[in-house]
Amino acid sequence: MNLEKKISIKLNGKPLKASIGCSISNLLKEHPHKGKFPAIGAIINKNRLDGLYYQLKINADIQTIDLSVRQGMDIYRRTATFILCAALYELNPKVHVVVGQSISDNYFFEIEGQRFTPSLIKRLEQRMREIVEAKLSLRREWTIIEEAIQLIKNSGHEDKIPLLQQYKRSEIPVVSIRGYKEIAYGPVAHTTATIDRFKLHSYEHGLLLGFPNSKGVVDKKISLQPKLFKTYVETKDWYDLMGASTIAQLNEHCIKGSISDLIKVAEALHERKIADIADDIARKKDCHLILIAGPSGSGKTTFSKRLAIQLKLHGIDPVSLSMDNYYVDREKTPKHEDGSYNFECLGALDINFLNKHLKLILSGQKVLLPKYNFSLGIREPVKKTEARLKDNQVIIMEGIHGLNEKLSSTVAKKNKYKIYVSALTQLSIDNHNRIFTSDTRLIRRIVRDRLFRGASVSDTLAVWPSVKMGEEKYIFSYQENADVIFNSALAYEPALLKPFAERFLMEVRRGDHGFIEASRLLRFFNFIVPILAREVPHISILREFIGGSAFRY
């Protein structure tokens, strides 16, 4: 008679009985994941994201995921990065690789003090595929900090130790591939066999690790983004100069009291960059239209106001022209497949009307500017503002489509200057674990929306996937069209935003649709030492999100 106690499981909607301690991967042997790609992780009871090695102890509702969804892609990329680091360690344990920025569907890597040679890249990819084909089991093992420090030290990665020494919790998850040990800051695949789609490319002085997209396709050729890459390298040099390339280094500034100097230097670098952009515009005597675009949470509004100040030093008087007043009437607005209005597409704007006005204004003629009523969804025929451009004036126009040539097609290229603004952080957790640039913007938006726009964290998290989809489609594909890229990220901002973000993220309750994402962001802030806002200048871009700005919005 079998007296083994069973628990009730619902796996992808199907009721099952399972033994206590059974892993999700074992359940999938008899009840396979029905997605297009192999399962790579699971959402448990709608509240927890974990790997398929997770062992069940109580009744649970399990939804398996693959790389076609964002959480699955995060697991895929984390595991692929881990395999790359393990493969390089096996080839040469004395070589130290550093993860850098994201270039399309690729991560950039470089070796400290040397270049990635073509022969090394070839051998590295071969070793990675050997690890994948070996179908090695992976699992996050919770390890006491002291033991984790020793394990990481044995692997030769001294850069990870300062953060572990600062960490206040008693345990941290470690994952292993043969003799290589790594800190796992999130779930990984339960087997190396899952990571069967990737490609290594030589790029500049390093390499790109190419990942599959949501359709499972790995690009054989890479789309060069020289302007974006140059901005990343410039920012990395700034961070290295300030001694704030990793979270551990940032924490040391906070702990030792040098954070005040770090804030001043970071803000001074911003001001110098804005001044350089103004100088460049001033040199272009025929420039009459400045177009500013960038994704949500980039600080475009504050950047525009600070740029206006610098332009005035050159005797240039910038005049703002709001793109919002050129929306088509609500009944003419394009819709998404689900029937909701698509306010982000170019068709939501009356491009012909806007271009007509731009042509008239830039020719020195008087124009009656429209006023759009968002409540009614129409341009109001009565509320109009008279505008005429003087000799020393230029138009500044900020909006999602600023880099798209169709937005201002009637204006000659020589008469306009395009600026891409985004928060492209180069701060990393450690040499192998990067911080998503989109997370920097998401955290900014969470704080701003909660403080000033009456939106809860749950509200912000709910719309964020749609916001990102719009950015991918309407902004990122045009960023290389910019004359210049301004990086609005500041090295110290995680420490500044922590008190706000932690407080607001904790309002998301278990069972809420945003709980998994809120929990992930909270775990990130566990590593950060907080600071107060009193030394942040009132013209800082971060004041747009936390308040106390010298500008009016």
pLDDT tens digits for 92-115? 998 889 998 888 889 999 998 788
Measure the CA dihedral 137/138/140/146, to 10°. Answer: 90
Maximum distance among all Cα pairs of the chain, rounded to whole angstroms: 95
Indicate if the pLDDT at residue 4 is higher than 70.
Answer: no
pLDDT for the residue numbered 3 = 52
H or E stretch covering 394: strand 393-398
Nearest CA to 132 out of 194, 78, 70 is that of 194
Percent of the chain with pLDDT over 90: 84
Angle at which helices 437-452 and 493-505 cross, to 10°: 60
Indicate if the pLDDT at residue 348 is higher than 90.
Answer: yes
pLDDT for the residue numbered 506 = 97
Which residues is 421 bridged to in the sheet? 486
Contacts of 408 (CB under 8 A, 6+ apart): 289, 291, 354, 355, 358, 397, 416
| Res. 367 pLDDT band, cuts 50 70 90 | very high
What mean pLDDT comes out for the span 412-436?
94
DSSP states along 210-248: E---TTSPPPSS----HHHHHHHHHHHHHHHHHT-SBHH
H or E stretch covering 544: helix 543-546
pLDDT for the residue numbered 144 = 96
pLDDT for the residue numbered 220 = 86
Domain assignments of the chain as residue spans, ordered by start:
6-65, 71-210, 226-546
Mean pLDDT taken over the chain: 94
d(CA 38, CA 19): 23
| Res. 285 pLDDT band, cuts 50 70 90 | confident
**CATH code of the domain made up of 6-65:** 3.10.20.30
Homologous superfamily of 71-210 in CATH?
Threonyl-trna Synthetase; Chain A, domain 2 (3.30.980.10)
pLDDT digits (tens, 9 = 90+) for 123-182: 999 999 999 999 999 999 999 999 999 998 888 788 899 999 999 999 999 999 998 999
Helices (H), 294-399: 300-312, 351-362
Distance, CA of 370 to chain centre: 35
**Token pair listed for 125:** 């990819």
Residue pair 209/106 in contact by the 8 Å Cβ criterion:
yes
What mean pLDDT comes out for the span 308-333?
94
What mean pLDDT comes out for the span 347-374?
93
Percent of the chain with pLDDT over 70: 99
Homologous superfamily of 226-546 in CATH?
P-loop containing nucleotide triphosphate hydrolases (3.40.50.300)
Nearest CA to 491 out of 243, 232, 244, 236 is that of 244
pLDDT digits (tens, 9 = 90+) for 72-94: 999 999 999 999 999 999 999 98
pLDDT digits (tens, 9 = 90+) for 491-520: 999 999 999 999 999 999 998 999 999 999
What mean pLDDT comes out for the span 231-236?
93
| Res. 1 pLDDT band, cuts 50 70 90 | very low
pTM over cut 0.95:
no
What mean pLDDT comes out for the span 434-438?
91
Strands 141-144 and 106-111: unpaired
Query: Three-state SS for 404?
Result: coil
Helices (H), 32-144: 70-91, 118-133
pLDDT for the residue numbered 162 = 94
